[in-house]
């Protein structure tokens, strides 16, 4: 294997709009959206920051928090970092919070039927006790404030290459309102096979608490080598569930920049250029951002699902807005 590292340079380092890739000024059309290009197989981008060039007749008013005419917050620009948070599930890591239901404590606080919790390869796992249908119902998790759920992802002990007839399972997440009633359930529907995607997209607002249910029907036991106390003709069962992850949507990201003052607090370098008068006409800033982008076998470029850094310029008060990536491209040749 040969690994080569090259620093981003030239036109390749600049972010450009998809509609006009020859234009570097993102302020030429507002609103403007640009995105890093997909990585080919064997390539990886390691970004350490973004270099910004911002010009206008006078930047002084933009140091104040920006609002629209109705008084709502209005960002100058937004930066999104899309990663494969779970297998096949791409989302902005700064606009989602993960609630993880996993571990021996979470599993044993719930109700188990025809199942038990064992530590498999160092990970607490719900295992089926025989061939009967097994079920695990978590306790109800009460949230400090109501949240918006965007998706549910889960981790199984078996790979997707397991035989389809080996087991089938179902995931349900009951969403409760302020009065403790179930008003929506995020579900896989019927029992599904292990080769199916292991996440479910759904959008539910005003969730005050939630409860997870895992149901499985085992057709074949899996092979395991397990050291434990002697038992009389009692099998360990098939390892099944390792974790359920609930993705919460966050309305505002740390990279939603509402003023140049906010930008200054997140920059390693911040230089202002003043004209002969009091006006500030140019800003050079280096936004500190450590991001690693990789190519994924689960990406769908046509659908826009791949790891990337995106910038949306929303204000129409700028004359120039250029973004240059700082980092390296790693190429692996096998």
Q: How many residues does the chain have?
A: 334
pLDDT tens for 246-286 read 999 998 899 999 999 999 999 989 999 877 778 899 999 99
What pLDDT, on the 0 to 100 scale, is given for residue 232?
44
Q: Residue 1's pLDDT band (boundaries 50, 70, 90)? A: low
Find, among 148, 146, 139, 150, the residue nearest to 177 by Cα.
Answer: 146
- Residue 299 predicted with pLDDT over 50: yes
- Residue 228 predicted with pLDDT over 80: no
What pLDDT, on the 0 to 100 scale, is given for residue 235?
55
Q: Residue 206's pLDDT band (boundaries 50, 70, 90)? A: very high
- Listed by start position, the domains of the chain span 2-89+252-333, 96-225+232-249
Mean pLDDT, residues 198-223 taken together = 88
- Residue 52 predicted with pLDDT over 60: yes
Sequence-ordered alpha helix ranges (H) in 199-317: 260-265
What pLDDT, on the 0 to 100 scale, is given for residue 230?
45
Q: For residue 288, give every residue at least 6 positions away whose Cβ sits within 8 Å of its Cβ, in sequence order, or none.
A: 48, 49, 266, 267, 268
Is 319 in contact with 27 (CB distance < 8 Å)? yes
What pLDDT, on the 0 to 100 scale, is given for residue 223?
46
- Residue 143 predicted with pLDDT over 50: yes
Instruction: Choose between 24 and 225: higher pLDDT.
Output: 24
* Model confidence, pTM: 0.87
Q: Residue 221's pLDDT band (boundaries 50, 70, 90)? A: low
Which segment of 50-59, 158-167, 197-206, 222-231 scores lowest on mean pLDDT? Answer: 222-231
Instruction: Choose between 2 and 314: higher pLDDT.
Output: 314
Which segment of 147-151, 202-206, 230-234, 237-241 scores lowest on mean pLDDT? Answer: 230-234
| DSSP symbol at 232 | S
Q: Residue 333's pLDDT band (boundaries 50, 70, 90)? A: confident
pLDDT tens for 81-130 read 999 999 999 999 999 999 999 999 999 999 999 999 998 888 999 998 87
What pLDDT, on the 0 to 100 scale, is given for residue 23?
84
Find, among 7, 19, 18, the residue nearest to 310 by Cα.
Answer: 18
What CATH number does the domain located at 96-225+232-249 have? Answer: 2.60.120.260
Sequence-ordered alpha helix ranges (H) in 56-138: 103-109
What pLDDT, on the 0 to 100 scale, is given for residue 163?
65
pLDDT tens for 146-180 read 999 999 999 998 866 666 677 899 999 999 999 99
Q: Residue 233's pLDDT band (boundaries 50, 70, 90)? A: very low
d(CA 49, CA 59): 22
């Amino acid at each position: 294997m040969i690994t080569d590292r090259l620093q981003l340079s030239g036109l390749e380092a600049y972010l450009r709009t998809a509609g006009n890739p020859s234009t570097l000024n993102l302020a030429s059309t507002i609103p403007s959206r640009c995105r890093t290009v997909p990585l080919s197989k064997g390539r990886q981008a390691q970004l350490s920051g973004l270099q910004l060039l911002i010009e206008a007749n006078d930047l002084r008013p933009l140091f104040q928090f920006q609002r629209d005419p109705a008084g709502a917050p209005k960002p100058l620009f937004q930066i999104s970092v899309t990663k494969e948070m779970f297998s096949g599930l791409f989302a902005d890591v700064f606009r989602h919070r993960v609630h993880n239901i996993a571990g021996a404590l979470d599993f044993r606080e719930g109700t188990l039927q025809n199942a038990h919790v064992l530590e498999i390869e160092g990970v607490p796992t719900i295992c089926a006790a025989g061939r009967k249908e097994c079920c695990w119902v978590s306790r109800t998790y009460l949230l400090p404030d109501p949240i918006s759920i965007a998706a549910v992802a889960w981790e199984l002990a078996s790979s997707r290459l397991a035989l389809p007839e080996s087991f089938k399972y179902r995931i349900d997440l009951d969403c409760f309102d302020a009065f403790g009633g179930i008003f929506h359930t995020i579900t896989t529907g019927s029992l599904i096979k292990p080769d199916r995607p292991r996440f479910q997209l759904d959008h539910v607002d005003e969730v005050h608490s939630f409860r997870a249910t895992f149901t499985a029907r085992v057709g074949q036991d899996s092979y395991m080598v397990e050291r434990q106390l002697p038992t009389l003709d009692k099998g360990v069962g098939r390892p099944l569930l390792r974790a359920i992850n609930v993705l919460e949507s966050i309305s505002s990201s740390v990279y939603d920049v509402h003023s140049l003052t906010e930008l200054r607090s997140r920059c390693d370098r911040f230089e202002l250029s003043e004209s002969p008068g009091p006006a500030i006409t140019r800003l050079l800033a280096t936004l500190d951002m450590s991001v690693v982008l990789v190519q994924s076998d689960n990406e769908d470029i046509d659908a826009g699902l791949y790891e990337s850094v995106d910038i949306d310029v929303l204000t129409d008060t700028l004359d120039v807005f250029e973004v240059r990536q700082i980092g390296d491209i790693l190429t692996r040749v096998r």
